Amino acid sequence: MIKTLKSFDLKNKRVLIRVDFNVPIENDRVVDDFRIRAVLPTIQFCLKAGAKVILMSHLGRPKGQPNPEKSLIPVGESLADLLEMPIKFSDDCVSEDAHDVTLGLRTGEIHLLENLRFHNGETTNDSEFSTALAKHGQVYINDAFGTAHRSHASNVGVTKHFMHKGMGFLVETELQYLSTAMQNPAKPLTVILGGAKIDTKLDLIHRFIGRADNILIGGGMAFTFLKARGKDVGNSLVDPAMESTAKHIMASARGNTKLIFPKDFVCASSMKDAQHTEIHQAGGIPDDLMGLDIGPETVESFTDIISESGTILWNGPMGVFEVDGFHKGTEQVALRIATATENNATTIIGGGDSAAAIKQFGLMKNVSHVSTGGGASLELLSGNTMPAIYSLEI
Ligand code: AMP
């Protein structure tokens, strides 16, 4: 059993929360605060319950060395603005000073610890380091979904020091949508996959063959499948190492699962040449062109399937959505998913690029759930064990 936040008595307790503040920072300012906002309900609940809150997170990959560019100071500023309250900060998460600040906290105060990955012990799950982290809290809460597929000191090692441990609201919601809702989804269940890489989505494809009614494959990854079927894909992105896997997947499609590929593509000579595009049928892309978005016929067939679905799970853009001119397929899919949500479908957006796309089109609030974790959401949806979630079991 994993305890939820509401089941704890937090009054006057030091609550150590692992959060995921791994956000983009430019010129010492947070440029996208989605992950910070996502954890506010947990922090606010703890404060209201009379807790003293200690927050810990990683930011980027500083490789065990202090690095001012990877400091959480801008995150602390952004958080202070969002909560409209001052936040105490320690520039070393396990120093004596940091522990003193924690011990001196009063009810309703927040102490943010500097980037965990300034210490090597975080990613090596060093027991001395996790013991030092554990000293900050009396209750441990994990609300960092984005790292839940990793075994690190702050999300796995630290947990063995706590009798009182559990998950925050964000992790609870992610589990509800990415795990519980997937066990008995409203049918038809449609999985939409795209993006450039196949290998990161293989487990997901295997899991949903036989379970999903439709698997729509767009984006760059579609070309490896088309090539494996002997189609002419021109100069499009192909992963030759994955061709035999793609063949195997197509051969293993079973049950009622339909694997559906694009019929046509928006093509150009390169990603930079969005001014000169041509539509070509899948299998007929000229040698000097590459497919950079799904074409109009595909948009129509994909969006028809979306409209008829009870549950939609989307991971990976349909084209190079970051470039104006190759964004339309992804935008149309996003819009139709938003409409399906209005019509009571459960719609789940895996993190990473699909989350970025939904944000770009201003549709974050028009879907059932946008995951905060790219890799983590793929792992959970694929049915793989999440060490940080497992460690919360009591
Ligand atoms: P992934 O990390 O595998 O989900 O890939 C995401 C990236 O795939 C995005 O940055 C897209 O620009 C890129 N992408 C999508 N469709 C294509 C395509 N047809 N050709 C090349 N890159 C693509």
CA 269 – ligand 1 centroid, Å: 16
Structure tokens at 389: 């979630």
The pLDDT, as a whole number, for residue 181 is: 82
- Of ligand 1's listed atoms, the one at least distance from the Cα of 315 is 4
pLDDT confidence bin for 167, thresholds 50/70/90: very high
The pLDDT, as a whole number, for residue 352 is: 85
pLDDT > 90 in the chain, percent: 92
For 290-303, how does the pLDDT look when each residue is reduced to its tens digit (9 = 90+)? 999 999 999 999 99
Q: Name the residue at shortest CA distance from atom 11 of ligand 1.
A: 320
Mean pLDDT of the 313-320 span: 97
pLDDT confidence bin for 177, thresholds 50/70/90: very high
The pLDDT, as a whole number, for residue 253 is: 79
Res. 255: pLDDT tops 80: no
Contacts of 250 (CB under 8 A, 6+ apart): 225, 228, 229, 259
Q: Which residue has the tokens 């059993």?
A: 1
The pLDDT, as a whole number, for residue 374 is: 86
Mean pLDDT of the 141-167 span: 98
Q: Name the residue at shortest CA distance from atom 6 of ligand 1.
A: 195
For 1-31, how does the pLDDT look when each residue is reduced to its tens digit (9 = 90+)? 999 999 999 999 999 999 999 999 999 999 9
Contact at 8 Å (CB) between 45 and 61?
A: no
Contacts of 327 (CB under 8 A, 6+ apart): 293, 319, 320, 321, 360
CA 259 – ligand 1 centroid, Å: 19
The pLDDT, as a whole number, for residue 368 is: 96
For the chain, list the domains and their CATH numbers.
5-171 (3.40.50.1260), 185-381 (3.40.50.1260)
For 104-113, how does the pLDDT look when each residue is reduced to its tens digit (9 = 90+)? 999 999 999 9
Give the C-alpha separation, 53 to 17, whole Å: 7
CA 311 – ligand 1 centroid, Å: 24
- The highest-confidence range among 202-206, 279-283, 380-384, by mean pLDDT, is 279-283
Mean pLDDT of the 277-294 span: 97
The pLDDT, as a whole number, for residue 256 is: 87
Tell if the pTM clears 0.85, that is, is over it. Answer: yes
Contact at 8 Å (CB) between 4 and 166?
A: yes
Res. 94: pLDDT tops 80: yes
Give the C-alpha separation, 193 to 196, whole Å: 10
